[in-house]
Amino acid sequence: MGLGGCIILIAVGAILTFATDWEVKGANLDVIGLILMAVGIIGVATFASIARRRRVVVPPSAPVVGEERDRPLY
């Protein structure tokens, strides 16, 4: 699941928790919404930590003193 899926889970969970007043026999939609939001937040945190580890830092190279094309041709 990527970052988009996690954001969708958070959005659907928030909609179920805060924007609906449906009554479903045998299920509490408020709790289901909270669970979906928690899973989405955990997914975003996991995705962010993996993305941070994948980032490669390239050390600065030594400055170029002269290039080959600047040397006189003999």
Q: 24 pairs with which residues across the strands?
A: 27
* Cβ pair 35, 13 in contact under 8 A: yes
**pLDDT tens, residue by residue, 21-41:** 888 899 999 999 999 999 999
Tokens representing residue 2 in the block: 């990527």
* Cβ pair 7, 43 in contact under 8 A: no
Tens digits of pLDDT across the chain (74 residues): 788 999 999 999 999 999 998 888 999 999 999 999 999 999 999 998 887 776 666 666 766 565 556 556 55
Strand, helix or coil for residue 27: strand
Cα angle vertex 52, ends 41, 56, to 5°?
165
**Per-domain boundaries in the chain:** 3-52
